[in-house]
Chain A
Amino acid sequence: MSIEVLLKEFAEVSEHPGRQIKAFKAEGKKVIGVLPYYAPEELVYAAGMVPMGIWGSNKKTIAMAKEYCATFYCTIAQLALEMLLDGTLDDLDGLITPTICDTLRPMSQNFRVAMEGKLPCIFLAHPQQRKPAFGLQFTMDQYQHVKSELEKISGNTITDEALRTAIKVYNRNRAARREFVKLAGQHPDAVSAVARSAVLRASYFMIKDDHTAKLEALNAELKALPPCDWKGKKIVTSGIICDNPKLLQIFDDNKIAIAADDVAHESRMIRVDAAETGDPMMALAQQFADQDYDVLLYDENSSQNRRADFVVKMVKDSGAQGLVLFMQQFCDPEEMEYPYFKKALDGAGIPHIKLGVDQQMRDFGQASTAIQAFADVL
């Protein structure tokens, strides 16, 4: 299949997650909603169910969720609840609610109360100290809880063998996504910023085997392309999420390619694989322990500004000329990190802009002005 056809297919899935859920249900599959961040989706897969990533929506407006939420909760969390309340996600069979940030922690209880008697909500608390033995044990215990709840919903026992298979499937998909991110950065003439986002976003709405197969085919096509002589600019994106096609279209209109990303919804989720041998539950706990360079994760060496240095290196290695930070409105971790982030970027001579975004934005006039001006100074 041609690159254009494959990209169009990913875009279709990305734009219609509801259609995907309906199709899964029509096949008799059970579907589990998975909220951000770092939920072990492998357990859902191993239970024979389909995980659906829920990272808010670019098409909804907060109305019913206001009954439950403080105004300073990010739109990602609020719109997830909105979709649970307005019937969009009625076909779900369960929901995993991680609690890794100060919004998701109380939101997990909002989800539980709002969905009482309607949808099983599986509470997941990752430990702050994820690396020491006691942290690993804590993660294991939490994952054990998630596992047993998923077993109740599915009616299936999650065997070690099934979980190892799931880990292999997910590792392969992460590898394909990493490869795609690299190839998209090398071939912006073939993969626009809008298309790039759709490919990565679609992974949350597809059974991973299907996403991998399609993505490996796309990667093969991209690898076969001659080197791209890109006349535009290249940047690295950073932030929690930037999957709004209208916002990304501004990058394409101004010939700004995304060389690499430090976006939670995109590359932060696929940096670390799980071991395919040994105890699979420990492999998943260790995978979480090995996650790093994420503002949402505790870093005992945070005074060294390691995360910012990591991103600076990413910008340099990718050949990008600058960085665009999508600052999610009301995201405390990102807001509080910003001064350190800025210091490292300024110190390395990397120009950047910070764009305030939320998922209810419909007008991108101001962002368009800033992005166009940024292209002029790069």
Chain B
Amino acid sequence: MSIYTLGIDIGSTASKCIMLADGKEIVAKSLIAVGAGTSGPQRAIAQVLEEAGKTREEMAYILATGYGRNSLDEFADSQMSELTCHGKGAAFLFPEVRTVIDIGGQDVKVMRVENGVMTNFQMNDKCAAGTGRFLDVMARVLEVKVEDLGALGAQSTKNVAISSTCTVFAESEVISQLSQDTDKRDIINGIHQSVANRVAGLAHRIGVQEQVVMTGGVAQNTGVVHALEEALGREIHTSPLTQYNGALGAALFAYQKYLKAQK
């Protein structure tokens, strides 16, 4: 009989769940686009259990991670930092990974992974620059959907520099460019480069080593990924499971903890 474990990643802007069988097979996953402090976590949990046709009682171990990891004390068996979980998840998807760049809703994190274990990390300061929130703000002022930013930026034909890293000042710069009738696609490309430069600076603090993997919701934005590849001069690997990576790591740790408890 299979052992089922559940990883729950409660981020600042989304709640994600991954259910694993025997610590290796993804049985079900769920994502609700609201995070800590909302109904998102409960809805994500209900959805993943329903998709798998399982109950809470059938989960051998549940581990929470992410910004809201402490809010599930009564539901989860334990919690861990999302950095550790992202390192674990990335190493599961890309066994050769050495550098993980995770851009989430309000954090940018760069992790060094050695033999599947996180050994060093850097986080952004208390600032929204370079985060998913930064892109949300820019998409709003540009009147485009955040998920369309990648495709639109790819059509850019001209370099437009967005020099401010501060979200508020960068927003002013974008408004100024719009008032000068600058093509939105060029502005978007400039925004992607601004994010990439900011994140690359953080990554260089711990040193970038092959293989580089990008996780988190922003990894779905091909514009940021390509700009970051250029800024780092290295290929960046992503996965369709990028947004679930933290939850995946949590489910993997949950399985480890279950096994340890059995000894």
Seen from chain A, the residues whose Cβ lies within 8 Å of a Cβ on chain B are 351, 356, 361, 365-366, 369-370, 372-373, 376-377
B81 touches A369 (CB 8 A): yes
Contacts of A356 in B (CB 8 A): 125-126
The 9 closest A-B pairs by CB, nearest first: A373-B83, A372-B81, A373-B81, A376-B84, A356-B125, A369-B81, A370-B123, A356-B126, A373-B84
Binds A, one of B113-121, B161-169, B233-241: B113-121
**How far does the Cβ of A53 sit from chain B's closest Cβ, in whole Å?**
27
- The total number of A-B Cβ pairs within 8 Å is 37
Which residues of chain B are within 8 angstroms of A370 by Cβ–Cβ distance? 81, 83, 121, 123
Contact A373 B118 (CB under 8 A): yes
- When distances are taken between beta carbons in the complex, the residues of chain A under 8 Å from B67 are 365, 369
- Chain B's closest residue to A358 (CB) is B126
- Nearest B residue to A356, CB-CB: B125
Asked if B80 is at the interface of the complex by the 8 Å CB criterion, the answer is: yes
CB distance from A313 to the nearest CB of B (A): 22
A372, B80: Cβ atoms under 8 Å? yes
In the assembled complex, the Cα of A369 lies from the Cα of B118 at a distance in Å of 14
B120 touches A369 (CB 8 A): no
On whether the beta carbons of B120 and A366 are closer than 8 Å, the reply is: no
Seed contacts A370-B121, A377-B119; 7 additional CB < 8 Å A-B pairs: A356-B126, A366-B106, A372-B80, A372-B81, A373-B121, A377-B120, A377-B121
Determine chain A's interface SS by DSSP, over half rule. Answer: helix
Decide if B123 touches A377 in the complex (CB within 8 Å).
no
Q: In the docked arrangement, what's the CA distance between A166 and B25, Å?
A: 71
Task: Render B214-227 as a binary contact track against A, CB cut-off 8 A, 1 for contact.
Answer: 00000000000000
Determine the residue in chain B with the shortest Cβ distance to A374: B121
Known A366-B107, A369-B82, A372-B81; judge A377-B118 contact (CB<8 A): yes
Give the interface centre of A365, A373, A376 by most chain B CB atoms within 10 Å: A373
**Given that A351-B120, A377-B118, A377-B120 are contacting pairs, would A369 and B83 also be in contact in the complex, using a CB cutoff of 8 Å?**
yes
Q: Could you say which residues of chain A place their CB within 8 Å of the CB of B119?
A: 377
Known: A369-B81, A369-B107. A376 touches B123 (CB 8 A): no
Distance of A377 Cα from B120 Cα, bound (Å): 7
Interface size on B, residues (CB 8 A): 15
A27 to chain B, nearest CB (A): 43
Chain A residue, CB-CB nearest to B112: A377
Question: A366 to B118, Cβ gap below 8 A?
Answer: no
Q: Which residues of chain B come closer than 8 Å to A377, judged between CB atoms?
A: 118-121
Q: Is B84 a contact partner of A366 (Cβ separation < 8 A)?
A: no
Complex-state Cα separation, A270 to B121, whole angstroms: 33
| Chain A residue nearest in CB terms to B67 | A365
A366-B81 contact given A373-B118, A376-B118, A377-B118, CB 8 Å threshold: no
Q: How far is the CB of A340 from chain B (nearest CB, A)?
A: 15
User: In the complex, what distance in Å separates the CA atom of A57 from the CA atom of B67?
Assistant: 27
Bitwise, B47-90 to A at CB < 8 A (1) or not (0) is 00000000000000000000100000000000011111000000
B118 partner residues in chain A, CB cutoff 8 A: 373, 376-377
- Give the most central of B106, B120, B126: most A CB within 10 Å: B126
A49 vs B119: C-alpha distance when bound (angstroms): 52
Which one, A351, A366, A372, contacts B126 given CB within 8 A?
A: A366
Contact B80 A376 (CB under 8 A): yes
Enumerate 21 A-B pairs (CB-CB under 8 Å) in ascending A order.
A356-B125, A366-B106, A369-B67, A369-B81, A369-B83, A370-B123, A372-B80, A372-B81, A373-B81, A373-B82, A373-B83, A373-B118, A373-B121, A376-B81, A376-B83, A376-B84, A376-B118, A377-B118, A377-B119, A377-B120, A377-B121
- Give the Cβ gap from B19 to chain A, nearest Cβ, in Å: 23
A366 touches B80 (CB 8 A): no
The CA of A96 and the CA of B207, in the complex, are separated in Å by: 46
